[in-house]
Structure 1
Amino acid sequence: MPAREQLQEQVNILREQLEKHPELPQEKRDSLIALIAKFEVQLQLEPATQPPSITEDLNQAVGRFELDHPGIAGVLRNIVVTLGGIGI
């Protein structure tokens, strides 16, 4: 599966995780929704034009979700790994 398709699939899984966790505090929910929106914009760009901050943002999000929501953190880690695999 091409990397962009993998990334889009992982974003879709992340959205599903949000739906499965209605107890997620609104602040965390909002930050994840904003991260997903930012990431989807980045998916439209060529890898060479990707800012490194998207990976930093994802790593920070992993830290915020790791303890309370390991499923969400796992999906975020998968996205970071996939980005690394395509040179971002």
Structure 2
Amino acid sequence: MPAQELQKQLDALREQLDQNPPLTEVERKDLHDLMEQIQLKIELETRTQDASLADGVNLAVERFEVEHPAIAGALRNIIITLGNMGI
């Protein structure tokens, strides 16, 4: 089930953040806000298109890919799973 895979990837992102990478407070807050949105999608098990969520994750990938490649990788996995879910 894609929602379970998305949950695993979200957990992996949380683990990356638990390692306290050198992020600014704004970056950390933005990632937590994004993770909260993703968690809500998982809980609602929605199957509808929500371009704003996918766009937000894509923007986060661009923002973190140079300085925090592990976080960007976890976010890319989330994008793939969201696409598989039709979101």
TM-score by structure 2 length? Answer: 0.91
Q: Which runs of 5+ in 1 are unaligned?
A: none
The alignment-based identity, stated in percent, is: 42
Q: Distance in 2 between the 1:86 and 1:51 partners? A: 11
Specify the code of the residue in structure 1 equivalent to 2:10.
V
- Of structures 1 and 2, the one with the larger relative CO (CA 8 A, separation 6+) is 2
TM-score, normalised by the number of residues in structure 1: 0.90
Q: List 4+ stretches of structure 1 deviating above 3 A.
A: none
Q: Does 1:32 align with 2:31?
A: yes
Indicate the RMSD between aligned Cα atoms, in angstroms.
Answer: 1.2
Match of 2:40?
A: 41
Range with greater deviation from structure 2 (7-16 or 19-28): 19-28
Q: What is the alpha-carbon distance in structure 2 between the residues aligned to residue 83 and residue 24 of structure 1? A: 25
Comparing 56-65 with 17-26, greater Cα deviation is found at 17-26
Please tell me whether the aligned partners of residues 3 and 85 of structure 2 are also in contact (alpha carbons under 8 angstroms).
Answer: no
Structure 2 gaps of 5+ residues are none
Structural mapping, 1:7-86, within 5 Å:
7-45=6-44, 46-48=46-48, 50-86=49-85
8 Å contact kept, 2:16–2:70: yes
List per-residue Cα deviations over 1:32-59 (Å, max 9, x = no partner): 00100111111123212x4211000000
* Amino acid in the other structure paired with 1:47: R
When the two structures are aligned, how many residues end up with a matched partner? 86
